[in-house]
Amino acid sequence: MSIHPSAIVAAGARIPASCTIGPYCTIGPEVELGEECNLISHVVIDGRTRIGSRNTFYPFCSIGVAPQDLKYKGEPTETILGDSNTIRECVTISRGTTGGGGLTRLGSGNLLMAYAHVGHDSHVGSRCILANSATLAGHVTIQDDVTLGAFCPVHQHCVVGAHAFIGGGTIVTQDVLPFSLTSAHRENKAFGINKVGLERKGFSPQRLQRLQKAYRYLLAAKLNTTQALEKMRALEGEDVAQLMRFIESSRRGVIK
C-alpha cells in the first residue's frame, strides 16, 4: 500500500493494498475504499462512506462530509460511490440526512469537474458529466448519461432525465425531460432532442425519428401536455414510453 507519510488515515478505515493515498489526505474511521483508488493529495473522505474501485480523487475534494443542512445533528447517514469515477479539484459530495433517506449516491463512470457540488440525499446515475461549478441541491436525482453544464444550479427534489443535456448557466427549477436539450440561451426551455449525444451513444436513426416526433408533439404542436401524451401513445418504442412515464410521474412539472 502506498500511503504518504503526511496522510492521516484513521484506525478502522478499510483500504486495499492497491490504493494510493497522496500527501495530506485525511480518511475517516468508517471509510471503505475499493481496489486501485487514487487520492492525489489533500483529499478529505469522511463519514460512513463506501467507494468502489478505480476512482480518482483530485486535490481539495471533500467526500462524505456532513450535509449543509441545519437540521442535521450528526446522525449516522451514508455516502456511496460506484467504480471508475473522476472527482476533480474542490468537488464536494455531502452525506445523506435522515429526513431524505439517509444516503447520497453516485454511480459509475462519472466525471465531476472542479467545484461541482452534490448535495445531501442526491442520487446521480452513471456516465454523467457535471461541469465546473454545477450544483445539486439536496434530494436531486440525476439519471444516467446526463451532461450538466457549468454553473448550473438544480433545485431541491428536481429530476433530470436520462441522456439530457443542459447548457451552461441554466437554472433548473423543474424536472428536465429525458433525451432533451435544455438551455438558458433559450429562456430556460427545452428545444428538442439531444441528437448529437444520442448518436454518440449509438441510437439508431429510427429511434431518433420516433423521439423527434414525440418532441414535436410536446414542444412544437399547439397541444397541452395531456393532449401531447395522447398523441405519443400511438408511437412505438421504449424510448417514447420512457419519456411518457417520466412526464406522468413528475412531481414538480417538466421544463418545456
> How far apart are alpha carbons 16 and 36 in whole angstroms?
8
**Contact by Cβ (8 Å): 55, 21:** no
**Contact by Cβ (8 Å): 37, 55:** yes
Q: Is 121 a catalytic residue?
A: yes
Rounded-to-10 torsion of CA 154, 156, 160, 165? 0
Of the residues 34, 96, 125, 138, which is catalytic? 138
Of the residues 42, 117, 120, 123, which is catalytic? 120
**Quick one: 174 exposed, middle or buried, by C-beta within 10 A (0-12, 13-18, 19+)?**
middle
**Contact by Cβ (8 Å): 149, 131:** yes
Of the residues 22, 28, 83, 121, which is catalytic? 121
Q: From the centroid of its chain, how far is CA 185?
A: 22
The label of the residue with cell 423543474 reads: 174
Looking at residue 114, its amino acid is A
DSSP 99: G
Enumerate the active-site residues: 120-121, 138
